[in-house]
Amino acid sequence: MFSMSRWLLGFLFLGVIVLNSCNKAEVKEEGNTLMKSQENDVYHEWNNVFMQIERYAAFYRPGPAPRALAYLGYSAYEACLGGMPEYQTLQYRYGINDMPPVQTNLYWPEVINASYAYLMNKFFSDVTFKDKAGNVLDRNQFLKMIELKEIELKKQYSQKTNDIILNKSEAHGQEVAAAIWRFAVSDQVGHDAHLNPFPNPVNSQGCDWVPTDHVADRGLYPQWGKVRRFALSQDDLDALVSPFECDADTNSVIYAQAYEMYVLAKIARKDPKGEMEHIAEFWSDDRVGWTFSPASRLVAIADQIVAKEKFDLQKTCVLYAQLGMALNEAAVIAWYNKYKFNVERPITYIHRNIDANFDIPWLGFTPPFPAYPSGHSTFGFSGVAILEAFVGGSYEFTDHCHELRTDFNGQPRSFNTLRDLANENALSRLPLGVHYRMDYDSGNFCGTRAAKRVLDLPWKK
């Protein structure tokens, strides 16, 4: 009797062990099937890789970088719909007919890992990389960063799910990314534009913009207004009004705006450690090899907010899809209007009407495309409008993007609202010596419109 009881107890104990093991397996495989329950570090990891690589990518700014960010974010969004039941595909809106079917019960960080790795390798595969001095760098070292990051993250995720789910997740991320890449390649204007960034000579007349640096008779990306859009209509592109006439009269609006910029630039130059110089340097992000580009700056800002507010993976996924698209739209609408209105840069106007000896403080060059609207302003206001949709219009923020820099003043700057941040970003182009106030204002108009159109897309069911 005693031996039979001990046998029964042993059997029951073994049954409990087996049952518990099954339950653990179910938790590991089935318990975290929704995006909201999984970690979001995968976005921080890949955003960091993107910004490290894009920093050295020649002619990837201003347009190709936000274009790449749009496709990266959108691909991850489509790949993860099986974990976001209240969201829906946008593939039919864009005519993507070969998108793999939605899958559920995947490990979503690995889906995103595979998608980002696939597309980032594609977007940077034929880019020329340069350091601060303009020296060409070995492309393979940057592509290796992508390869190693994918391996590193997959290894981490192998500890959090089983091999079957991990491999299914990887395959799905890659398959969706491949469909998105085919879609990206079909944009004949945007695809590989970085290989021919100065395609057309500039036809300037009277007070029209003329190149001041780099290439004597050509502008950078004059075709970018025809790059594929995700949300903006042609009416949106044409909604910006004509700027002020070129007028040498000291009582004219354009003279007043040129003189304002001239004074602010002189203040910045006079006090290299002062507020105006700090603002000019802090927001520049113009130089290849120095920092990430102006559009990517908004991703760096978003990254800080995502970490601080502890966004879940679903919220993070939607944020970066919408942010990438808005930045792409910002580039298109800004460059469409730059070459539509062809407004000369302040330095040209100032040389002719105010001070023939004026030069650009700190930055040292004027970007090789027309002034109106400001790309910085358009990117800033588009990105901030997306972020406000997630954290509200009264969100206080301190930007730590450049705080470890020693080659310029990267001391963090604090803002009462994200809108204040966007305004300072736009204003920074005046003491830097490259924009009028009307460029700042028109960038606000264009960027805000770009973000609104993206937010209005039918994201939810």
Looking at the domain assignment, is residue 6 inside a domain? no
What's the mean pLDDT when you consider all of the chain?
A: 92
Q: What are the residues whose beta carbons fall under 8 Å from the beta carbon of 123, sequence distance 6 or more?
A: 64, 68, 71, 72
Structure tokens at 108: 């979503």
Share of the chain above pLDDT 70, in %: 93
* Distances from the Cα of 21 to the Cα of 15, 25, 67, 113, 348, angstroms: 10, 6, 47, 29, 74
Q: Is residue 68 part of a domain?
A: yes
Residues 107-120 have a mean pLDDT of: 98
Q: Residue 310: pLDDT band by 50, 70, 90 thresholds?
A: very high
Supply angle C-alpha 226, 231, 235, rounded to 5: 65
What is the SS3 assignment for 455? helix
What pLDDT score was predicted for residue 181? Answer: 98
27 pLDDT exceeds 60? no
Domain presence at residue 20: no
Q: Is the pLDDT of residue 5 over 60?
A: no
Give the dihedral of Cα atoms 351, 354, 360, 365; nearest 10 deg: -30
Mean pLDDT of 162-180: 97
DSSP-assigned beta bridge partners for residue 414: 398
Residue corresponding to tokens 């960063």: 145
Supply the range of the domain harboring residue 417.
31-455
For position 32, what pLDDT does the model report?
Answer: 54
Q: Which of 175-189, 289-303, 350-364, 440-454 has the lowest mean pLDDT?
A: 350-364
> Is residue 94 predicted with pLDDT exceeding 80?
yes
- Model confidence pLDDT, tens digit, residues 268-309: 999 988 999 999 999 999 999 999 999 999 999 999 999 999
**Contacts with 158 (C-beta within 8 Å, 6 or more apart), sequence order:** 166
pLDDT at 203: 77
pLDDT at 99: 97
Query: Above 80 in pLDDT, residue 23?
Result: no
Can you read off the two tokens belonging to residue 279?
Answer: 């603002």
Residue 24 lies in a domain: no
Task: Tell whether 312 is covered by a domain.
Answer: yes
* Predicted pLDDT of residue 6: 43
pLDDT band at 204 (very low <50, low <70, confident <90, very high): confident
pTM exceeds cut of 0.75? yes
**Residue 135: per-residue pLDDT:** 97
**Nearest residue to 73 (alpha-carbon basis) of 104, 105, 116:** 116
**Best CA proximity match to 124, nearest among 72, 81, 164:** 72
Q: What number is the average pLDDT over the span 154-177? A: 97
Q: Does residue 223 carry a pLDDT above 90?
A: yes
- Find the mean pLDDT for residues 421-429: 98
- Locate 438 and state its tokens: 């009307």
| pLDDT above 70 (res 13) | no
Report the C-alpha gap between 151 and 163 in whole angstroms.
Answer: 14
Q: Which helix (H) or strand (E) holds 91?
A: helix 91-94
Q: Hey, what are 132's tokens?
A: 């601060």
How large is the average pLDDT for residues 387-398?
A: 98
Run of H or E including 44: helix 41-54
Residue 85 has pLDDT above 60, yes or no: yes
Residue 11 has pLDDT above 90, yes or no: no
Q: What would the pLDDT profile of 225-266 be if each residue is shown by its tens digit?
A: 999 999 999 999 999 999 998 999 999 999 999 999 999 999
For residue 191, is it within any domain? yes
**Residue 297 included in any domain:** yes
Does a structural domain hold residue 376?
yes
The total of structural domains in the chain comes to 1
Centre a 10 Å sphere on the Cβ of residue 414 and count the other Cβ atoms it contains: 10
Instruction: Tell whether the model's pLDDT for residue 16 goes beyond 60.
Output: no
For residue 389, give the CATH number of its domain.
Answer: 1.10.606.20
Beta pairing class for 397-399 and 413-415: antiparallel
